[in-house]
Amino acid sequence: MEVLAQGIGAIFTDPDADKAREFFRKKSRALKPKVMSVKEAVEKFVHDGDYLCIGGFGANRIPAAVCHEIVRQGRKNMGFAGHTSTHDFQILCAGEVFNKLDVAYIVGLEARGLSPNARRYMESGKVNVSEWTNYSLSVRFKAAAAGVSFYPARNIMGTDTFHYSGAKIIQCPFTGVKYAAMPAIYPDIAVIHVHESDIYGNCRIRGITVSDLDVARAAKHLIITTERLIQNDEIRRDPSYTSIPYYYVDAVCEVPYGSYPGNMYGEYFSDEEHLREWLKVEENPEEFKKFLDKNIYSCKDHFEYIEKNGGMHKLLKLREKEFMFSKARD
């Protein structure tokens, strides 16, 4: 197929579908318990140089506990998909975890403003960047989920985004119409936070899933963090409610409030006060180092982090806010 034009951006993952299939053929599909701690999951499945993808969208349903652990364990030189990545991106920049980035939306925390530290890191020259749009990254995950090497799309053609991407313009062999060929992303590791899971990794997600179902299918390894574990009998009682089946999953970590300080639909609202604190303290690099030591490096796990920032009292207030009711608490 003739290539009519191509962007100058790098492609950080191998889009070869046949190579990916060889890997997936060897991956176990046994129905076995996969429960472990976040620390154990990161030690086992997240490595220096891996390409990482994070589920959720913006600050909604993000696996914050795993992001903290990746920084705490000092992972480096990773690739990352910045697919409307806000607070998760902020955390990973704090640890300078990645040096290769497929970017769609980063640095900004939406209406909250820009992350000063993330901006410093992106302007440091330490990160190799390839530009995309949110839809382009979604299409790239969809290509991998479908088991093909690329997916044709009509967006980004004729834009600067195309110029700085790794996409190529091709001509349809059936109609002669031009399309942008989006190379598949097969992440080495993906992390997705869900509402419920059984011990095998059958997961339930309430609300929007964005690209998470395609990411789960595309990833070579998948860590699930869940608000709660439920019985497999409950999964079998209504299998149509299963968003991600067990055979894509490598690790299941029960982490109540695992998206904190982000939002979890139907569970708790985002901690806007704490997110503003992150943004403010980042303005001073020395103060930010102290902040990171307190909130990440000196914490044993996500629960200690929550305790340092208001504990159960704060979480109950965030639950009230999510459900839009007020109940007096001392």
Looking at residue 279, its pLDDT comes to: 96
Range of the domain at 216: 3-322
CATH code for position 224: 3.40.1080.10
Does 330 reside within a domain?
no
Burial code (b: 16+ CB inside 10 Å, e: under 16) for 214-241 equals: bbbbbbbbbbbbbbeebeeeebeeeeee
Does 161 reside within a domain?
yes
Residues of the chain with pLDDT under 50: 328, 330
Does 327 reside within a domain?
no
Q: How many domains does the chain have?
A: 1
Q: What string of DSSP letters covers 31-61?
A: ----B--HHHHHHHH--TT-EEEE-SBBTBS
Looking at residue 110, its pLDDT comes to: 84
Looking at residue 327, its pLDDT comes to: 61
Does 66 reside within a domain?
yes
Structure tokens at 12: 């950080």
Does 328 reside within a domain?
no
